[in-house]
Amino acid sequence: MEKKNIWSWVKKAMTIAGFAVVCAIFGTLAAPQTQLAKSAETVMPRFNYLNGDYDMLRGAHLSDQSWTDPINANIGDRVAVMFYYHNGVLGSVANHTTLRVDLPVAESTSLKLTSYLWSQQTAPISDTVVSGNIVGNSGLTINLPTAGRVEYVPGSTKWFPNGAQVGTPVAGGIVSSSGLDIGDIKGCWNYAGFVTFMVDIKGQAALKMDKKVAHVGDSAWQDEAIAMAGDELNYSLGIRNDGNDVAQNVTVKDILPAQMSYVPGSTYVFTKDNMTGTKVSDAIFADGITLPNILNGQDNIVFVRYRVKVSATIPNTMCGWYLNNVARVYMNGVEQDMDQAKVTVRCESRILSIDKKVWNGTAFVEQNNAKLGDTVSYRVSIKNLGNTTITNIKMHDVMPINMKYVIGSAKINGTSVSDALVTTGGINAGSLAAGAEMVVTLRGVIDGCLPVGVYTLQNAIYVSADSITEQWDIATTITNATSIVVPVVQ
């Protein structure tokens, strides 16, 4: 066929079958080698689907030469993760082949790592699948005896291309949302490879705070306290880690209520290795103070202690109010816990407390047991809970029927006082300063013939003072009298 006849036929074919048919015929006749090259370029890659392909994701301990899935680990272990890829289509090229591993976010005893593999020409796959069956297990599972989490080890990613036995360090994007692009991967076994990286098995820190308050000079820490204008108080923040990992980047902040001010230079941090305390900045009421890393367990509690002062002038309208001091603890900038200690505002007042007890042979208690002829000892604690001196304290004690007062046994703070204490007129015990206590002691003997059965003897003391009406308290003695035993008939 002559050339002009070929073009004449082409023009005719274009009017009949369209341009696409003509291109195909023309290509077959005119350029068979070019057509074969174009056909090879259209071969599509495909990953991890042939017999002999490995599980896509496996793991191993650093000292273990065996890659497995799942694996068992413990908090604190370092685990290697291996990602397998293989384009199994000969003559194809997978452009911008990308590998990604999603690490579990939640804390658990079973941590599941999920893999993804894709290229420009292929959609993401998560597993090696041969003849419809997953090779190995989907993803990689790390089982732990206690709840934990995984954390990528920066700089640990290595690439083993084309069956290489020595890895080349690469950027750690394999655990990022965009994944790790290893470039163009040709098809067949000699281009298969691996990417490995490390993860650390971490526990979870769980910070808890316990806040206490105490008056300066008082070693008894309480959840609540009573304070007056001008009083100084100590606060203690006990911060412990109830988790199974080290708590790092820990900070503490405090917010003082109105009518309280911080005593500059009074903040100290105490640890088990430094019980004398380390003085730190006054930033606890600003940006907060940074604490040392806190290991888990009760033995590793860190204490932060500081001093505040109650305003010298408190309005009468605030009498009886709570001054709530709130502290918060943070880890990596996230609040973990908070606690408060309440201080009740006490204004000018006269408060007298009376507490009478009886000796049971071991301690002074509310009630004891005794029998006819026994000597019974009493103790009365009288406290001034107000903030001014209480004057002209008058008291008298009333012995019960069948109990006789032991002459000369009455004492106040260990010093003998008049036996008139047990008369109707009583005695004047003088004054009692704010916060002070006086202790009254006396004795009685069970006397007389008590009725048969259980009998209650109540000893009462009555106390009054200037501007304080009479108050009283009792201590009780239980007796059990029995009659003589009837003799048997002889």
pLDDT per position as a tens digit, 210-225 = 999 999 888 889 988 8
Pairing of strands 334-346, 224-228: parallel
Angle between helices 19-30 and 32-41 (to 10 degrees): 110
| d(C-alpha 228, C-alpha 343), whole Å | 10
We report the CATH number of the domain holding residue 418 as 2.60.40.740
Pair (356, 311) in one structural domain:
no
Per-residue model confidence (pLDDT) at position 142? 96
Three-class HEC string of 99-143: EEEECCCCCEEEEEEEEEEECCCCCCECCCEECCEECCCCCEEEE
Decide if 282 contacts 262 (C-beta within 8 A).
yes
Average pLDDT (390-406) is 94
| d(C-alpha 263, C-alpha 260), whole Å | 10
Q: List phi, psi (to 5°) of 442.
A: -165, 165
Tell me which residue of 385, 362, 359, 386 sits closest to 374, measured CA to CA.
Answer: 359
pLDDT at 11 over 60: no
Per-residue model confidence (pLDDT) at position 14? 31
Pairing of strands 411-412, 232-241: unpaired
Q: pLDDT tens digits, residue range 334-344? A: 788 899 888 88
Q: Find the domain containing 310 and state its range.
A: 207-346
Pair (272, 365) in one structural domain:
no
Reported as a pLDDT band with limits 50, 70 and 90, residue 76 is confident
Pair (198, 236) in one structural domain:
no
In this structure, is residue 489 part of a structural domain?
no
Length of the chain: 490
Beta strands (DSSP E) in 154-295 are: 158-160, 168-169, 180-186, 193-202, 207-215, 224-228, 232-241, 250-255, 260-262, 268-271, 274-279, 289-291
Pair (461, 429) in one structural domain:
yes
Average pLDDT (116-131) is 96
Average pLDDT (300-304) is 94
In this structure, is residue 486 part of a structural domain?
no
One-letter identity of residue 359 = W
Per-residue model confidence (pLDDT) at position 185? 97
| d(C-alpha 453, C-alpha 358), whole Å | 21
pLDDT at 21 over 60: no
Q: What does the CA dihedral 95, 96, 99, 100 come to, rounded to 10 degrees?
A: -130
* Mean pLDDT, rounded, of the chain: 86
Per-residue model confidence (pLDDT) at position 30? 34
Per-residue model confidence (pLDDT) at position 431? 94
What's the Cα-to-Cα distance from 263 to each of 33, 220, 256, 304, rounded to whole Å?
Answer: 92, 20, 12, 14
- Domain end residue (candidates: 185, 202, 219): 202
Q: pLDDT tens digits, residue range 252-290? A: 999 888 889 999 999 999 999 999 999 999 999 998 999
| d(C-alpha 421, C-alpha 459), whole Å | 13
What percent of the chain is modeled with pLDDT above 70?
Answer: 90
Q: pLDDT tens digits, residue range 159-183? A: 999 989 999 999 879 999 999 999 9
What's the Cα-to-Cα distance from 411 to each of 362, 363, 389, rounded to whole Å?
Answer: 20, 18, 21
Give the number of domains in the chain: 4
Pair (34, 114) in one structural domain:
no
Average pLDDT (122-130) is 96
In this structure, is residue 73 part of a structural domain?
yes
Pair (77, 165) in one structural domain:
yes
Per-residue model confidence (pLDDT) at position 147? 82
Greater confidence (331 vs 55) lies with 55
pLDDT at 18 over 60: no
Measured from the Cβ of residue 187, the count of other Cβ atoms closer than 10 Å reads 21
